[in-house]
Every structure is written in C-alpha cells, then in structure tokens.
C-alpha cells in the first residue's frame, strides 16, 4: 500500500506491532492520517523487548492527523512509540485526538515530553484530566475537546492565561468553563463562540443508526436546585468571551421550564443561535411551555434552534407507550406551543420539546414534525 493516505484501525487487536511498522514504512511518504486502537501490555507480550517501536518507526513527512485510543495499561514500548510519533510530527500536526479505555484518571502529558510547540494544530481532543498547564504551546488551536471518560473525582482545570488564545469551540465539564472564560481585564479574552458542556448533545448515533441525546454529566449535585444554581454561576462566564457565544449545549437535572430565562437573561446572554438541553431525569412539565415565547424566545433575537430532550438509553427497550389518542393530544399541544413561540420569534426554525417529535418550520411558516415531512 505505497499510496496509502489514511489508515484507521480503531478495533482492539486488529493489527499487530510488526504489521503496523511494515505499513508505516511502506506508506511513509504518503500517509496523512492515522487512527489506532493501541494494544495492551498483555497483547504486545514479548514484542516489548523485540520490537522497539520508537527506533523503527519511520519519518512520516505528510502526517497531519493522529487519533490514538490508549489502553488501560500503556507499555514502555508503546509510550516510546507515541512520544516519538508526536515529537516527529509536532511542527505539522493539525489534528490530535487521544482517548483512553480506563475509568481511572489518565494524564497524557508524558507523551508530549519532547514537544514544545504545536504551531499549526487546530483541533485538540484529550482526556478531561489532562494537566493543561503542561501542554506544548498551542497558538492555533480553534477546537478543544476534553473528553469525560474518567470516573475519577473532579478537579478543576487550570488554564494558563496565555493558552489557546484563538480558541473558538470548547467541549468541557461545566465546572471548568469559568477557567477558560475568566473575568480578567489584563489578559486577552478567548473568542469562544461554541460551548458544549458535559458532552451534551443531540444527533445521529453512528452505532445504532438513530437520532439520540447524550451526555456525560458526572460529579454534579444530585439535587436539581443545586445543579441549577451551579449552572447559573457557570453561565455568568459566557459573557467573558471576546465574541458572543452563539452555540450552547448542556445537561442538567429536572427543572421548571419557566426558570430557563434566569440562566441567561441576567448575564446578557442573548446572542445564542442554537441551544440544546439534555435532561438527566424526569422531563420538565410542558404544561406552561407556551409561556416561554414571551419569557424567553422574545429575548433571543438570533435563536433559530431550540432542542430540549431527555437522555435516552438506546439499549433500553422499555419505552413508555401511550394510546393513540393521548399521543395525538400531546402532539397537538406541542404544535399550539410552537404557534405561540412564533408570535415572539421570527427566526425560530427548529424546535424539540420532547424526544417524541422534532419540529421544523417550513418556508410557508407552518410547523411540521420531521416524521411528517
């Protein structure tokens, strides 16, 4: 495979060390992207002594994208290989993703011991427990994802004032947001316009082939009121971005819909274009959802997408079943709410109030559920 440009092996034990080195050598002049599920210490076995990855790994002059899934236990030989790979590609690396399969805290910074600068790196994905103060200088990173893979107790992130000066998109724990958007007058504020907290989101699930909500909210207060208060404090930092925050996704415990404006309006956060909220627990009572039109949407002149959905366990087939009549009544109520929303917002185009229906506004101004289109 001398002309190989992209190589992906993200399944365990899909490729052996000897085969990997042969592949890298054969495609060394053309390979631009590599995705690897790194083997465990037990799997490598005797190859630890007989196959020195770092010494045999060729130079890869065109490699600019690296995605490595690390095992629970990383062998010295694997560490040497990763260190060599990242060190030899540091000056041209554009995308770096490191994740791990351990539920314990996992610091990836030892892999960067030979790197002092990532001059053209634009996308960086690391475990959330990574010591950010020990990372190489990253003057060009636009997107930073801190993956919530660990069950280890939460410790607040420490972000050096000069780190990530052009950061635009941030994925992190809700507790860590203020560290990236501090209220300091003597430093250059980061131009963050997209924020995803606790991996909250809604979209196509590749494994199950369906739309689903998700989140990875850990170490959050169990009491919904305390969680709401914590988010209110965290969201105060959104106004400290150098540019308006336009896209926001977050997760939370049960709350009252009419309390939603108090999360944003007191802080002057009114430039949002998309807002996704994943509920961990009972869905809020939609009985007064129509009041959100005047209380919330009227104050969000750019908001075109509002998704409110409960966290759904795709593997759980015990979905609630309601009669056809009740189903129709719920759908009719939601459509009535949408009509009320439209009276207060001319830009709202996509809405979800429960996972039952996703609504889109047609060119004619009619609200239609996606299933009906």
Domain ranges of the chain: 1-89, 194-373
Q: What is the DSSP string of 161-219?
A: TTSSTT--EEEE-GGGHHHHS---TTSPPP---EEEETT-EEEEETTTTEEEEE----S
pLDDT at 338 (0 to 100):
94
Percent of the chain scoring above 90 in pLDDT: 43
Q: What's the whole-model pTM score? A: 0.89
Dihedrals phi, psi of 367, to nearest 5 degrees:
-85, 130
Which DSSP state fits 57? P
**Rounded Cα distance, 81 and 277, in Å:** 41
State the virtual CA torsion across 216, 221, 224, 229 in degrees, nearest 10: -110
Q: 346-371 pLDDT, tens per residue? A: 999 999 988 888 999 999 999 999 87
Flag the least confident range among 67-71, 223-227, 241-245, 272-276: 223-227
Q: 286-327 pLDDT, tens per residue? A: 667 888 999 999 999 999 999 988 765 544 444 455 577 888
């Amino acid at each position: 495979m001398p002309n190989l440009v992209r190589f992906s092996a993200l399944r365990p034990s899909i490729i052996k060390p000897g085969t990997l080195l042969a592949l890298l050598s054969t495609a060394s002049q053309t390979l631009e992207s590599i995705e690897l599920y790194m083997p465990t210490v037990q799997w490598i076995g005797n190859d630890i002594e007989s196959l020195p990855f770092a010494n045999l790994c060729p130079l890869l002059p065109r490699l600019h994208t690296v995605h490595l899934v690390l095992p629970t236990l990383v062998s010295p030989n694997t560490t040497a290989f990763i260190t060599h790979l990242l060190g030899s590609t540091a000056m041209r690396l554009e995308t770096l993703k490191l994740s791990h399969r351990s539920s314990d805290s996992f610091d990836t910074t030892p892999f960067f011991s030979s790197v002092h600068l990532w001059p053209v790196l634009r996308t960086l994905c690391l475990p959330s427990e990574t010591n950010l103060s020990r990372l190489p200088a990253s003057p060009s990173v636009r997107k930073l994802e801190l993956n919530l893979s660990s069950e280890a107790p939460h410790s607040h992130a420490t972000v050096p004032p000069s780190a990530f000066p052009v950061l635009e998109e941030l994925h992190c724990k809700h507790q860590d947001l203020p560290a990236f958007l501090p209220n300091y007058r003597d430093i250059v504020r980061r131009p963050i316009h997209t924020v995803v907290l606790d991996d909250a989101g809604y979209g196509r699930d590749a494994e199950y082939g369906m739309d689903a909500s998700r989140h990875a909210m850990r170490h959050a207060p169990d009491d919904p009121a305390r969680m709401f208060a914590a988010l209110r404090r965290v969201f105060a930092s959104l106004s400290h971005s150098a540019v308006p925050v336009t896209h926001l996704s977050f997760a939370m415990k049960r709350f009252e819909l009419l309390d939603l404006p108090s999360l944003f309006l007191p802080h002057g956060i009114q430039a949002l274009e998309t807002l996704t909220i994943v509920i961990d627990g009972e869905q809020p009572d939609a009985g007064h959802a129509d009041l959100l039109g005047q209380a919330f949407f009227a104050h969000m002149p750019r908001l075109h997408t509002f998704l409110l959905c409960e966290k759904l366990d795709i593997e759980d087939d015990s979905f609630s079943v309601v009669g056809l009549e009740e189903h129709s009544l719920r759908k009719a109520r939601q459509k009535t709410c949408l009509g009320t929303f439209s009276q207060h917002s001319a830009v709202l185009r996509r809405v979800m109030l429960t996972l039952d229906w996703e609504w889109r506004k047609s060119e004619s101004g009619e609200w239609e559920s996606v299933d009906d289109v």
